[in-house]
Structure formats: C-alpha cells, structure tokens
C-alpha cells in the first residue's frame, strides 16, 4: 500500500490518496464520493495496515493568492519512508523515527535526530500519514473539495460514438456526461484523486508559529 500526501503551510493541506481501490465498489453506479467520505474510508483502511510505504511533501512560505499557491518558499521538502506500526525508516537519510523521537546515522554513529539541521527538519515535518489524515478529517466536511474533478469531463468526452452515461459529483450539484458505457477500470481512471482541505485561519497560524519556533523554516 502506498500513500502520497502533500501538506502546504500555513493555510491549506493538499492530499493525494490512492482512491482507485476505494472507488471500485462505487464503480457500477459511477457516483463520485465526497472528499470527506473518501478520507474516512482511507483512514479506516490505513488503520488496518501494519506496514506500507509513504511519500510526504511539505511546502511552506508566503502566498498572496486565494488558492494558497506559494510564491516565496521557506521550506520545500519531499520525504519517502517505510512505515511499520509506529516506526518510520527513511533510508535516504539513514534515519529512524517515531512520532516523538528519532535517530540518524551521522559520522559513523547513531545520534539523536535533533543533532543536525536535516534531522531536526525531518522530525518536525515528516509526520505519520495517520496524523495528517486525522488533521484533514477535522475540516474535510466543511472545506474539503476535489481539485481534479474536471479530469472526469475531459476523459469522458474522448469517445462520443457510444451511448451516454452520467457521473454525478456528490455534493457539488454537477454531473459529468460520458459518451460511452464505462468499465470499472475506466471509471477508476476518470475519478478525481486529489483533494484540498483548508484549516481554519487560527489553527493554521498556530501550526505555522510552532514550525517557525522550531527554527526549521530558517534552515535549521
């Protein structure tokens, strides 16, 4: 099982989850689940898995546009790790970490993960996927939305020769018309996979200040 999660600091979090497996059960009726219901399913599925690979991208800096696109980066990191129960192994940085502690192999010896700037950033930014999903779930019902829902419209219109089917986007009042009857694999291929969940301004600011106090935004 593999998860890809992206967190943007301070005001928004973007999550890309493996929705294909979760959407399979909905394929015959071709109804796109709401972002919140997908996050609930993803969190439940993840809680049953002891070991998996994960990729987490963290971006932080200044933004002056409504969609939170960063124009001046203070941090831009991507981490890859193997997780087993409560332990993450980051082979590229010769590190092991839990939610609270960690070690890195530095200059021929295992040292506290806070011993150097890279380890400090790793411990601060590389959160467990379960924690990231938990944070997103608190706000997904209010602010969650699919970012690539328009992908369905583009894919569905590629073959206009066959009978039309409709794909309803739950909670959006929008319907995508497909010009052919879709198989389960084709339905999965045009389902949205990237969602945006925005946190309230106060929570986002508190989170940003916590990271800033750690010194990680200034390079460690």
* Structure confidence at residue 199 (pLDDT): 85
Mean pLDDT by 10 residues, the chain (220 residues): 49 47 46 85 89 88 80 86 93 92 94 91 88 89 83 52 50 55 62 84 82 68
Distance CA 90, CA 107 (A): 17
Strands annotated E in the chain: 2-9, 12-16, 31-32, 51-62, 72-84, 87-90, 95-97, 102-106, 109-112, 145-146, 165-169, 174-178, 194-198
pLDDT of residue 158: 55
pTM, two decimals, is 0.64
pLDDT attached to residue 106: 93
User: How would you classify the pairing of strands 51-62 and 174-178?
Assistant: unpaired
């Amino acid at each position: 099982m593999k998860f890809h999660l992206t967190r943007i600091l301070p005001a928004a979090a973007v999550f890309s989850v493996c929705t294909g497996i979760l959407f399979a059960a909905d394929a015959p009726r071709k109804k796109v689940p709401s972002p919140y219901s997908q996050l609930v399913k993803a969190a439940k599925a993840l809680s049953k898995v002891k070991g998996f690979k994960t990729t987490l991208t963290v971006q932080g800096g200044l933004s002056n546009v409504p969609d939170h696109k960063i124009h001046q980066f203070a941090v831009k990191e991507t981490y890859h790790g193997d997780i087993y129960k409560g332990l993450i192994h980051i082979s590229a940085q010769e590190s092991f970490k839990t939610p609270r502690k960690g070690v890195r192999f530095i200059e021929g010896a295992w040292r506290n993960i806070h011993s150097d700037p890279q380890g400090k950033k790793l411990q601060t930014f590389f959160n467990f996927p379960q924690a990231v999903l938990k944070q997103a779930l608190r706000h997904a019902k209010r602010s969650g939305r699919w970012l690539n829902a328009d992908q369905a419209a583009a894919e569905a219109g590629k073959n206009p020769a066959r009978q039309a089917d409709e794909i309803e986007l739950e909670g959006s009042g929008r319907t995508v018309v497909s010009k052919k009857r879709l198989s389960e694999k084709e339905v999965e291929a045009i389902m949205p996979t990237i969602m945006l969940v925005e946190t309230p301004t106060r929570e986002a600011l508190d989170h940003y200040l916590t990271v800033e106090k750690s010194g990680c935004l200034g390079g460690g």
